[in-house]
Chain A
Amino acid sequence: MTPTPEQIAAFADGELSGSEAALVAKAVARSPRLQAEVASHKALRARLVAHFAPLLDEPASPAHLHLLRQEDRVVDLAEVRARRRRWAWVAAPALAASIALAVFLRPAATSRDYAQPDLAGMLDKQLISQQRKGAEERVLLSFLTADGRFCRAFSTPNASGIACRDDSGWKIERAASGGQQYGEYRQAASEADVMQQAQDMAAGPALDAAEETKARANGWRSRD
Chain B
Amino acid sequence: MPLSDPFATALLDLLPRLRRFAVGLSRDRAEADDLCQATIERALRNRTRWQDGTRLDSWIYRMMRNMWIDEVRARGRRGQTFIADELGSDVGADGGQEASAMLGDVDRALATLPDEQREAVILVMVEGYSYKEAAEIVGCPVGTLNSRLVRGREALLARLGEAT
Same complex: yes
| Pair B3/A69 contact, Cβ less than 8 Å | yes
Quick check: is A29 within 8 A (CB to CB) of the other chain? no
| Pair A51/B16 contact, Cβ less than 8 Å | no
| Pair A9/B149 contact, Cβ less than 8 Å | yes
Quick check: is B67 within 8 A (CB to CB) of the other chain? no
Quick check: is A100 within 8 A (CB to CB) of the other chain? no
Quick check: is B56 within 8 A (CB to CB) of the other chain? no
Quick check: is B97 within 8 A (CB to CB) of the other chain? no
Chain A interface, >50% SS class: helix
B1-16 vs A, CB cutoff 8 Å, 1 = contact: the mask equals: 1011101100110011
Quick check: is B103 within 8 A (CB to CB) of the other chain? yes
Contacts of B149 in A (CB 8 A): 9
Chain B interface, >50% SS class: helix
| Pair A51/B103 contact, Cβ less than 8 Å | yes
Interface of chain A residues 125 through 170 with chain B (CB within 8 A): none
Contact of B3 among A53, A54, A72 (CB under 8 A): A72
Quick check: is A41 within 8 A (CB to CB) of the other chain? yes
Considering the complex, give the chain B residue whose CB is closest to the CB of A75.
Answer: B5
| Pair B11/A40 contact, Cβ less than 8 Å | no
| Partner-B contacts on A (CB < 8 A) | 5-6, 9-10, 13, 15, 36, 40-41, 43-49, 51-58, 60-61, 63-65, 67-69, 71-72, 75-76, 81, 88-89, 92, 95-96
- 13 A-B residue pairs with Cβ-Cβ distance under 8 Å, sorted by A, are A41-B157, A44-B125, A45-B125, A46-B164, A47-B160, A52-B24, A61-B37, A64-B40, A65-B12, A72-B3, A72-B8, A76-B4, A95-B45
| Partner-A contacts on B (CB < 8 A) | 1, 3-5, 7-8, 11-12, 15-17, 19-20, 23-24, 33, 36-37, 40-41, 44-48, 91-94, 103, 106-107, 121, 124-126, 130-131, 146-147, 149-150, 153-154, 156-157, 160, 162, 164
Question: Which 10 A/B pairs are nearest by Cβ-Cβ distance?
Answer: A54-B93, A72-B3, A43-B164, A56-B16, A55-B20, A51-B106, A71-B8, A68-B8, A75-B5, A45-B125
